[in-house]
Amino acid sequence: MTPLTRGSSNDPFDPEYDSTSEMYPKERHHKINAEQHRRHHKINTEQHRRHHKGITAFVSSNPITPLIQVQDITRSTQNNIEDITSSTQNNIEDIRRSTQNNIEDITRSTQNSIADITGPTQNKHSTRQPLDRD
């Protein structure tokens, strides 16, 4: 097996993952799902870092007072609240974008179906042949 070069990983969990290549570059909703996936893992990585940063005082060899522990818990809780708020906002935006794209896809598909049924006499821009009604 040959070693992967930077950006050649196909594993989205791998930090070397090439986020610029898309499996389905012509299909917009696949791109959005890929972006949602990357954003989700980026946020979770940051949450993990903050979590460990917030609890380092608990595992240090220095004696710590309950006040320092409370401050660490407060900071960690505040970071978690910010992470959840940010993640929720990103999810709402992703759903809104995805819904709009789905509406556009359905509209386009419906217009094409109507053009198939009615033929070019009803849709002067259609290049499709009318259905044989005989």
Furthest C-alpha separation in the chain: 92
- List per-residue pLDDT tens for the chain, 134 residues long: 444 444 455 555 555 554 555 443 444 455 556 667 777 677 667 666 666 665 544 445 556 566 677 788 888 889 889 999 999 999 999 999 999 999 999 999 999 999 888 876 554 555 555 555 54
Helix axes 66-118, 28-59, angle to 10 degrees: 170
**Residue 83 and residue 53 in contact, taking contact as beta carbons nearer than 8 Å:** no
Question: What is the rounded CA–CA span in Å between residue 72 and residue 82?
Answer: 15
In sequence order, the 6+-apart residues with CB closer than 8 A to the CB of 29 are 98, 101, 102, 105
Q: What is the pTM of this model?
A: 0.38
